[in-house]
């Protein structure tokens, strides 16, 4: 049985043509593996999440994105299907299901076989471009091959976000890939505790001359003085969050602001989305392709509303970390001066499909920092207190002007660190992620407290 593997990011300063081709083919194969696990054709016309397009859109989206960007830099003169580039070209970020339905109600989606055929055409086109274009290094933000790297990283992002959609589908629509391997569970987690973090100056922002692909919001600069604070050694586990559920946390309005309370009542939420209740009243866990007993030592996966409600349940000023605090505790104050791709030990963390699920908190002994605070990277994303925001001197990239700018607002909260399914440059220190407060991703949280 061949293990599922996500290839490590590549340096754009000294990569070979073969490096780029391998990196592209790995991204394509990962998405193929995921989408081919959908075994009922009619399932492609459903939207498992009512804030996202039907799955047929995501079958064609990454392919169309490649061609749209390659045409902008004149690496592609003629498209095999301009209508598909338009249909599948741009995703959605609706505030409500009604907003989404209004936007897509008129669309006549093509047949599944036709879209698979389109994907194959696009794959062949991209391979030919990689094999034949002159390779002038380094590949920088104004280089024509930046469009290609943008397409590859975009596909890797959608491998992750599509996995969240599949996780919400009925199990009988899916077939688990043979090589899909879940992590173990050992029952109750280690007792959590608060750890003192000494303050310091943090520099946030990716250097312009970095040899690694980056999205526009990663560039710019910010220096922040962080005060001493406390943070939990582990991410909050299913076992810990169960105490909040058992103590009526979902029924106590004092833990929820008005918008969150309305969301909870509208969807009749009584426990985290991927918890199920069996006939005996016991909690089960919905993984990607299976249901099994709730792993109490895995990090809980919730949206921002639920994370904040848990903090209020704890009282005593318990809160989420900020972006600056997270950077300090994860990388210290030397990231910009010391970081290289070669010395990044991302293999120590539950990233890049090391496992095909979360792991028990603290299980990976090398996934702790010098203060033995675990899983700051990988396992599941970590919700933060910050609204998504631009760094000083932020400039949208001309190839993707609306990648970040429309989302710099209080409706989108930041999350950092990556998850087990995160791959590509998303696993690296400079990646800055965001989602709506009510949206689900492979995301959890740890708690913090000011001193």
Q: State which residues form the domain around 326.
A: 182-451
132 shares its domain with 88: yes
Residues 420 and 449 in one domain: yes
Mean pLDDT throughout 261-285? 97
Give residue 428's pLDDT: 96
Regarding whether 431 and 288 lie in a shared domain, the answer is yes
Q: How confident is the model at residue 1 (pLDDT cuts 50, 70, 90)?
A: very low
Q: Domain ends where: 154, 173, 192?
A: 173
Q: Are residues 61 and 96 in the same domain?
A: yes
In a domain, 10, yes or no: no
Q: Is 200 helix (H, G, I), strand (E, B) or coil?
A: strand
Q: Would you say 212 and 150 are in contact if contact means Cβ atoms under 8 Å apart?
A: no
Residue 295 has pLDDT above 70, yes or no: yes
- On whether residue 9 sits in a domain, the answer given is no
Q: What is the DSSP string of 347-406?
A: GGSS-TTSSSS---TT-SGGGB-TT--B-SSSSSEEEEEEEP-PPBT----TT-TTSSGG
Choosing from 132, 154, 173, the residue where a domain stops is 173
Co-location of 147 and 240 in the same domain: no
For residues 308 and 164, membership in a common domain is answered with no
pTM value is 0.96
> Is residue 167 included in any domain, yes or no?
yes
- Residue 5 falls within a domain, yes or no? no
Place 332 in a pLDDT band, splitting at 50, 70 and 90: confident
SS3 assignment, position 136: coil
Q: Are 305 and 263 in contact (CB under 8 A)?
A: yes
Model confidence band, residue 91 (pLDDT cutoffs 50, 70, 90): confident
Q: Average pLDDT, stretch 390-415?
A: 97
Q: Is 1 inside any structural domain?
A: no
pLDDT tens-place string over residues 15-62? 999 999 999 999 999 999 999 999 999 999 999 999 899 999 999 999
Same domain assignment for residues 285 and 398: yes
Same domain, residue pair 98 and 210: no
Q: Give rounded-to-5 percent helix, strand, coil for the chain.
A: 35, 15, 50
Burial class (CB in 10 A: 0-12, 13-18, 19+), 143: middle
Average pLDDT over residues 356-384: 93
| Percentage of the chain lying above the pLDDT 70 cut | 98
- Mean pLDDT (whole number) for 430-439: 97
Q: What percent of the chain clears pLDDT 90, i.e. is strictly above it?
A: 88
Find the range with the poorest average confidence among 208-212, 245-249, 292-296, 378-382: 208-212
Residue 439 has pLDDT above 90, yes or no: yes
Per the domain annotation, does 7 fall within a domain?
A: no
Written as one string, the DSSP assignment of 225-267 is EEPPEEEESSPPBHHHHHHHHHTTGGG-GGGS-HHHHHHHHHH
* Residues 228 and 138 occupy one common structural domain: no
In a domain, 83, yes or no: yes
Strand 381-387 vs strand 283-286: parallel, antiparallel, or unpaired? unpaired
pLDDT in tens, 175-221: 999 989 999 999 987 889 999 999 999 999 999 999 999 999 999 99
Q: What is the mean pLDDT of residues 423-450?
A: 97
- Poorest-pLDDT segment among 135-139, 204-208, 289-293: 204-208
Place 5 in a pLDDT band, splitting at 50, 70 and 90: confident
Integer CA distances (angstroms), 353 to 20, 287, 292, 382, in order: 20, 14, 20, 17
| CATH number reported for the structural domain that contains residue 219 in this entry | 3.90.1580.10
- Name the more confident of 345 and 385: 385
Q: What is the predicted pLDDT for the residue at 337?
A: 64
Dihedral angle sign, alpha carbons of residues 198, 203, 204, 206: negative
261/130 same-domain check: no
Longest dimension (CA), the chain: 64
Is the CB of residue 276 less than 8 Å from the CB of residue 291? yes
Is 362 in the same domain as 414? yes
pLDDT band at 2 (very low <50, low <70, confident <90, very high): low
Rounded to 10 degrees, the C-alpha dihedral 339/341/342/345 comes to 80
Helices 112-132/55-72 angle, 10° precision: 30
pLDDT of residue 334: 67
Q: Which of 156-165, 184-193, 285-294 has the lowest mean pLDDT?
A: 184-193
Q: Report, as an integer, the average pLDDT of 300-310.
A: 99
Domain assignment present for 12: no
| pLDDT (tens digit per residue) in 335-367 | 666 688 988 999 999 999 999 999 999 999 888
Q: Token pair for residue 433?
A: 């992620």
- CATH number, residue 21: 1.20.120.450
DSSP 8-class letter at 204? E
Using a 10 angstrom Cβ sphere, with 0-12 exposed, 13-18 middle and 19 or more buried, the burial of residue 131 is: exposed
Question: Of 140, 173, 206, which marks where a domain is finished?
Answer: 173
pLDDT, residue 336, reads 62
Q: Are residues 297 and 191 in the same domain?
A: yes
Query: How many structural domains compose the chain?
Result: 2
């Amino acid at each position: 049985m061949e293990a599922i593997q996500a290839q490590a990011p590549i340096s754009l300063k000294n990569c070979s043509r073969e490096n780029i081709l391998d990196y592209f083919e790995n991204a394509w194969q990962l998405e193929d593996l995921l989408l081919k696990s959908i075994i009922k054709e009619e399932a492609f016309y459903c939207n498992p999440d009512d804030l996202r397009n039907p799955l047929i859109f995501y079958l064609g989206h990454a392919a169309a994105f490649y061609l749209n960007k390659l045409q902008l830099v004149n690496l592609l003169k003629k498209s095999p299907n301009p209508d598909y580039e338009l249909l599948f070209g741009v995703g959605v970020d609706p505030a409500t299901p009604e907003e989404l339905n209004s936007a897509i109600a008129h669309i006549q989606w093509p047949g599944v076989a036709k879209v698979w055929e389109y994907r194959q055409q696009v794959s062949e086109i991209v391979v030919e471009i990689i094999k034949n274009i002159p390779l002038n290094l380094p590949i920088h933000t104004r280089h024509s091959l930046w469009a290609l790297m943008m397409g590859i990283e975009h596909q890797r992002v959608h491998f992750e976000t599509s996995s969240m959609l599949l996780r919400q589908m009925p199990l009988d629509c899916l077939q688990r890939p043979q090589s899909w391997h879940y992590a173990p569970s050992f029952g109750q987690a280690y007792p959590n505790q608060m750890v003192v973090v000494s303050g310091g100056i943090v520099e946030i922002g990716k250097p312009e001359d970095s040899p690694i692909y980056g999205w526009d919001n990663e560039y710019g600069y910010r220096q922040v003085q962080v005060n001493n604070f406390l943070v939990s050694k582990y991410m909050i586990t299913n076992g810990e969050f169960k105490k909040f559920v058992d103590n009526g946390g979902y029924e106590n309005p004092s833990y929820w602001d008005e918008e969150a309370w309305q969301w909870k009542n509208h969807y009749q939420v009584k426990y985290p989305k991927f918890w199920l209740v069996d006939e005996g009243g016991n909690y089960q866990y919905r993984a990607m392709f299976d249901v099994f007993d709730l792993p109490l030592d895995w990090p809980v996966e919730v949206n921002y509303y639920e994370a904040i409600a848990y903090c209020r349940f704890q009282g005593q000023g318990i809160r989420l970390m900020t972006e600056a605090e997270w950077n300090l505790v994860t990388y210290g104050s030397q990231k910009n001066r010391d970081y290289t791709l070669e010395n990044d030990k991302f293999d120590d963390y539950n990233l890049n499909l090391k496992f095909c699920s979360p792991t028990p908190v603290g299980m990976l002994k090398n996934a702790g920092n010098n203060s033995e605070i675990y899983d700051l990277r990988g396992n599941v994303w970590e919700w933060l207190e910050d609204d998504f925001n631009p760094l000083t001197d932020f400039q949208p990239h001309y190839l993707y002007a609306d990648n970040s700018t429309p989302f710099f607002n209080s409706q989108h909260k930041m999350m950092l660190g990556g998850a087990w399914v995160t791959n590509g440059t998303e696993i690296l220190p400079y990646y800055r992620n965001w989602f709506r407060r009510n949206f689900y991703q492979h995301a959890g949280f740890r708690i913090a407290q000011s001193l």
